[in-house]
Amino acid sequence: MLAENKIAFDSFHLLHDKYAFASDTDPLQEGFNYEGEKILKIIHEWENKLCSQSEKGGYGVYTDGLSEKFQLLVRKTFPMIDHIGIIITAFKKTPDFKSGDELNSDMSSSVKENPALQSGEDVIERPEAFTLRKINLS
């Protein structure tokens, strides 16, 4: 794989190392994603070749393990490969939370209105949260 795609892997290796050692990866992310997509296509192509040969040979049971070992070897050579495809977006800064903001619907979440924020005790204290059904097994 590396020998047949030496030029692509050599150029990606330089970019990968620059990305891995950069204190701020944001400026490099777009180029890393672009070049990384090409490398991922090559890697997946070779992984598919490797695993399909294993399955044809009657060793389909071992294909998952073989695929995982292949990916581990790739990650050993390119530890930042999982960072390919990361999209950097700027976050909108939220204003600081101050006393009294709990009354502002934009600044707080109501526990009563949002079941995801309720604790088990809140649900147990509300009998209307349970629906009991009698099941006839005869």
Per-residue pLDDT tens over the stretch 80-115 = 998 888 887 666 666 665 666 555 555 555 545 555
Distance CA 32, CA 18 (A): 10
* Per-residue pLDDT reduced to its tens digit, 35-60: 999 999 999 998 888 878 776 666 66
pTM of this structure = 0.58
Place of tokens 């399955």: 55
Which amino acid type is present at position 64?
D
Q: Is residue 52 part of a domain?
A: yes
DSSP class of residue 23? S
Would you say residue 124 lies in a domain?
no
The answer, yes or no, to whether residue 28 has pLDDT greater than 60, is: yes
Q: Are 81 and 33 in contact (CB under 8 A)?
A: no
Segment 114-125 shows an average pLDDT of 52
Would you say residue 114 lies in a domain?
no
Is 10 part of a structural domain of the chain? yes
What is the residue range of 28's domain?
A: 6-83
Q: How many domains are there within the chain? A: 1
Contact (CB, 8 A) for 74 and 40: no
Tokens standing for residue 56: 């044809």
91 inside domain: no
pLDDT at 118 over 70: no
